[in-house]
Amino acid sequence: MVQHRACLVALCLAIGGTPAAAASKTAAVGGWKPTEVPREEPQPPVVADPIYGAFDEGKYQEAKTLAEAAAAKGDGPANTLLGQMYEQGLGVPQDLGKAAEWYAKGAAVGDVHSLFSLGVMLAEARGVKRDKKRAADFFELAAAKNHAVAMYNLAIIYVEGFARPQDVAKAAELMEKAANFDYAPAQYDLAAFYREGSGVPRDIAKAAFWLGKAAEAGLPNAELEYGLMLFNGKGIPKNEKAGLDFIRRSAEKGNPVAQNRLARAYAYGAGVEPNIISAVKWHLLSREAGVTDFSLDQYLSRTTDDERAKAEKEAADWEQSMAALLQ
């Protein structure tokens, strides 16, 4: 695979200084691997109501029978549904080869979801032999039908240049199209294109706009980076309160860098009333995740046993709540 420097770079803005290992690592536009192909959450395609109704109710055998009859008449979504059933093992034994066959049939009649899914299977060598060039071809066909994730994947391919000639300007164009379809990862990566001037003229205001869209969609890294932009007034009017709100959202989702920044805010009263317990809680969580911060370690050493015990309990409670969400 041709290696290419990622268009996204670490954002090193900090609240109260930069801890040793707290640079915000963004999800790279480069470094795309077949196993990292962004996927949509599995959703049954829109097919005839009786088929969809049976599938939605978990009546997979009935859905399969109805879908096979519809597929025999050239119904594209029915082929896609059968592909998904075999890919996920829903009502049938999981069989990636058969899944690929059904997706190929759906692609042959132009179904956008089959085109995309077959591209993913070719990229990941799932049920078929890996073929990056054909995967790119199917992503391109799906992108032409306004499939946002296919546009995103194709943009990554143009950045890397492994199945298409390397063309960062083309990648930026596709990324913006996907972003305009409200695909949050594309909005997040497009912000980096504008921040770095990669494939587009450098424009910090546009970078802030797209980063804000991704943050509003709930991407933790975007929430952190947009929060820092707001807090510091970089490329956008300064708003410490709104910035901290976004940083807090990211921290609550487990982003250790956001947790570190939130700890600093509470420790030094940056945009919020100082709070020893909250500062120590978030510092302990971020440190446990590997973010080192000597100044906060010193801050911690000056707390009382009672303050530390309360903070440790709050940190433990937060970890338990996160573990419960993952079950």
Handedness of CA 286, 292, 295, 300 (dihedral sign): positive
Got the DSSP string for 75-89?
A: -HHHHHHHHHHHHHT
Could you tell me the pTM of the whole model?
Answer: 0.82
Handedness of CA 99, 100, 105, 107 (dihedral sign): positive
Token pair, residue 169, equals 């300007």
Do 205 and 229 touch, CB atoms closer than 8 A? no
- Note the pLDDT of residue 17: 39
Query: What does the alpha-carbon distance between residue 156 and residue 166 come to, in Å, rounded to a whole number?
Result: 10
Query: What does the alpha-carbon distance between residue 98 and residue 140 come to, in Å, rounded to a whole number?
Result: 23
Beta carbons within 8 Å of 53's beta carbon, 6+ residues apart: none
Question: Exposed, middle or buried by CB within 10 Å (0-12, 13-18, 19+), for 314?
Answer: middle
Query: What does the alpha-carbon distance between residue 169 and residue 193 come to, in Å, rounded to a whole number?
Result: 9
Instruction: Show the domains of the chain with their CATH numbers.
Output: 38-145 (1.25.40.10), 259-327 (no CATH)
How many Cα atoms are found within 13 Å in the side-chain-facing hemisphere of 311?
22
- Note the pLDDT of residue 43: 56
Query: What does the alpha-carbon distance between residue 69 and residue 74 come to, in Å, rounded to a whole number?
Result: 9
Beta carbons within 8 Å of 72's beta carbon, 6+ residues apart: none
Got the DSSP string for 242-271?
A: HHHHHHHHHHHTT-HHHHHHHHHHHHHTSS
- Note the pLDDT of residue 15: 46
- Note the pLDDT of residue 307: 96
For residue 13, give Cα distances in angstroms to 17, 129, 157, 283: 8, 44, 30, 17
- Note the pLDDT of residue 326: 81
For the chain, the C-alpha Rg in angstroms (whole number) is 23
Per-residue pLDDT of the chain (327 residues; tens, 9 = 90+): 222 222 322 222 234 333 333 333 333 332 323 333 444 444 555 544 689 889 999 999 999 999 999 999 999 999 999 999 999 999 999 999 999 999 999 999 999 999 999 999 999 999 999 999 999 999 999 999 999 999 999 999 999 998 999 999 999 999 999 999 999 999 999 999 999 999 999 999 999 999 999 999 999 999 999 999 999 998 899 999 999 999 999 999 999 999 999 999 999 999 999 999 999 999 999 999 999 999 999 999 999 999 999 999 999 999 999 988 887
| Alpha helices, DSSP H, located in the chain | 49-56, 60-72, 76-88, 96-108, 112-124, 132-144, 148-160, 168-180, 184-196, 204-216, 220-232, 240-252, 256-268, 276-288, 294-301, 305-326
- Note the pLDDT of residue 9: 24
* Amino acid at position 27, single letter: A
Query: What does the alpha-carbon distance between residue 142 and residue 119 come to, in Å, rounded to a whole number?
Result: 9
Do 45 and 81 touch, CB atoms closer than 8 A? yes
Site of tokens 């609240």: 15
Query: What does the alpha-carbon distance between residue 241 and residue 265 come to, in Å, rounded to a whole number?
Result: 11
